[in-house]
Amino acid sequence: MLNIGFINPSSDYLKDPFRGDPHTQLYILTELEEHFGNKINPLLIDLRGIKREFAIQHIPECDLYLHSVYTLDYNEQKSLVKGLREYYPKAKHIAGGPHVVEFPEESAKIFDSLIIGEGEESIIDVLNDLQNSDLKKVYEQKSKIDISLYPFSRRKYLPKSATAKKGLMTLKSKKGYEELLGTTTLFSRGCPFNCAFCAMPNLKQFDKGTRYNSPGKIKDEIEYLKKEYDIQGINMLDEIGIPFSKEKAISYLEAIASTGIVWRAQTRVDGITPEIAKMAKDAGCIALGLGIESVSQTALDMINKKIQVEDARRTLKILKENGIETRAYMILGLPGEPRDIVKQTWDFIEETQPDLVYLSLFTVRPGTEVYSNPKKFGIKNVNTDWDKTMHLFGRYDNEIPTLTFEYENETPWGKGFTQRELVNNYIEIQTKLRERGLSHI
Ligand code: B12
């Protein structure tokens, strides 16, 4: 029997690391169990909320450790592997995820094998090779996967209390949802757009579109969550929560509606028509997060978002008319911002009245166009202090964010903001949002 532990890092930079679920880990463990049955003992080693210095004491001995590496977790995962090699020298470490795909050479020095691209087929090869003592350094998936052929992720690798949570469905605009048991889901993979600030190197290479699970599989997953976990509400983590094509959206929303669940999701501002908004509402949608990003058209164009500020105005209005709570996802510090971005941003919020605003400070992550071609975006300097690439603040009441990049004094769109000005702009809007009860933190 092979003991396999998928390690989920502490995520100590998040205010509440249990608001999201470790979908990659759950998904790969489910697939492994389905394929290898009782030849393996799959474990999710969940370090969320555990202090980094005590993490090792929480990790049982395994033959194989799996890691999905995000940039913010890289330093933590590196030191965990080092510690584990001292305790359990025979164990192998396999890693995939966006940071590994972006830095394969450096990652190959830390981990025994790397998974480049999607992992469904590679992880089966890894286990077979391990049993034959023929582990390769790199496993690369060079074509896209049909996600509907694989099982939806089972939540049994976590305690029920980590899966079914109260507070996830709470609305700002309406009472009555606070006590619902909620969880998160991921029904799709990928995104057809190429925003310059978004990192998806593991997905973009072989598939430029979005793949949704079949309506039948989505329905089965929701029914499983209702039956096994008493789930009443779902927070969908998909990039584009409602499919763009009307035909797909209809069968998708019908499948969700048939389960009687309430749900919230996130989406772009250019895909929502009054008809789709009504259908979503009838299918149980109570809130939508909208990728508005900026109220500066120059900034939106610079980051290749392919939307107009007008789209955001229109969509906020449509959703309000349909009784769906609106959450505006906005970023300050983007390339292209004018000097009066704070005023313009606040004016937009006053005018359009979103129910909540999720404000981020722009961060430059590897795997993005901004990172690989900073000059194009008026950026003169990007450092690799990965622990500072957190885009949402508010963990501590008085935390002052720090940046890993700097704009030129003179940029293609005019005078660049200094680091101090960027942070001040962010804090000014965040403070106003908090005062008005519009901030989610
Ligand atoms: C859902 C999601 C989340 C969920 C679940 C995360 C999780 N651990 O599963 C939550 C809400 C918790 C989350 C949180 C964060 N996320 Co997130 N998230 C996503 C999203 C939308 C989908 C990821 C996912 O679960 N896909 C489904 C799984 C099955 O696919 P996958 O992860 O791509 O994995 C496949 C392959 O890559 C490969 N694989 C990957 N790792 C491994 C490891 C092994 C061992 C194997 C065999 C295979 C393998 O196999 C999988 C199957 O093919 C992506 C964007 C995207 N579309 O990819 C961002 C994304 C991964 N997130 C990102 C970020 C930045 C974060 C946060 C840091 C944000 C924040 N500051 O709050 C936190 C980190 C918290 C944490 N440590 O988990 C960035 C990462 C960029 C980077 N360079 O690091 C992404 C790429 C978004 C972006 N475009 O910038 N996230």
Do the Cβ atoms of 404 and 311 come closer than 8 Å?
no
- Tokens 């502490």 -> residue: 10
For ligand 1, whether the C-beta of 374 sits within 6 Å is no
233: tokens are 């509400």
- What pLDDT sits at residue 384? 85
Please name the amino acid found at residue 99.
H
CA proximity to 164, closest of 230, 222, 223, 221: 230
**Total count of residues recorded for the chain:** 441
**Residue with CA closest to ligand 1 atom 11:** 20
Please name the amino acid found at residue 323.
G
For ligand 1, whether the C-beta of 69 sits within 6 Å is no
**Residue with CA closest to ligand 1 atom 44:** 96
CATH number for the segment(s) 164-435: 3.80.30.20
* Contact residues for 370 (Cβ-Cβ < 8 A; gap 6+): 196, 197, 303, 335, 364, 377, 379
Do the Cβ atoms of 169 and 177 come closer than 8 Å?
yes
Do the Cβ atoms of 432 and 346 come closer than 8 Å?
yes
Dist. CA 145 → ligand 1 center (Å) = 17
**Residue with CA closest to ligand 1 atom 63:** 70
Dist. CA 24 → ligand 1 center (Å) = 7
Q: Which of 27, 43, 62, 70 to mutate to test the pocket of ligand 1 (most atoms within 8 A of CB)?
A: 70
Decide: residue 34, CB within 10 A, 0-12 exposed, 13-18 middle, 19+ buried.
exposed
- What pLDDT sits at residue 394? 58
Dist. CA 229 → ligand 1 center (Å) = 24
For ligand 1, whether the C-beta of 235 sits within 6 Å is no
Q: Which residue ranges make up each domain of the chain? A: 2-140, 164-435
Q: Which of 12, 16, 21, 24 to mutate to test the pocket of ligand 1 (most atoms within 8 A of CB)?
A: 24
Distance of alpha carbon 301 from alpha carbon 259, whole angstroms: 40
- What pLDDT sits at residue 381? 82
CATH number for the segment(s) 2-140: 3.40.50.2300
- What pLDDT sits at residue 12? 85
- What pLDDT sits at residue 199? 84
What is the DSSP annotation of 32-79?
HHHHHGGGEEEEEEE-TTS-GGGGGGG----SEEEEE--GGGHHHHHH
Dist. CA 22 → ligand 1 center (Å) = 8
- What pLDDT sits at residue 245? 87
Q: Identify the H or E element spanning 286.
A: strand 285-293
Q: Which of 68, 234, 268 to mutate to test the pocket of ligand 1 (most atoms within 8 A of CB)?
A: 68
Do the Cβ atoms of 125 and 138 come closer than 8 Å?
no
Divide the 441 residues of the chain into consecutive groups of 10 and give the mean pLDDT of each group.
Answer: 96 89 98 96 97 95 97 95 97 96 95 95 96 96 87 97 96 95 95 88 67 94 98 96 91 97 96 94 98 98 96 97 97 97 98 95 91 94 81 64 92 94 93 90 72
For ligand 1, whether the C-beta of 199 sits within 6 Å is yes
- Which pTM was predicted? 0.95
For ligand 1, whether the C-beta of 22 sits within 6 Å is yes
CA proximity to 123, closest of 203, 13, 24: 24
241: tokens are 């929560």
Q: Torsions phi, psi of 44, nearest 5?
A: -105, 115
CA proximity to 414, closest of 298, 297, 332, 295: 298
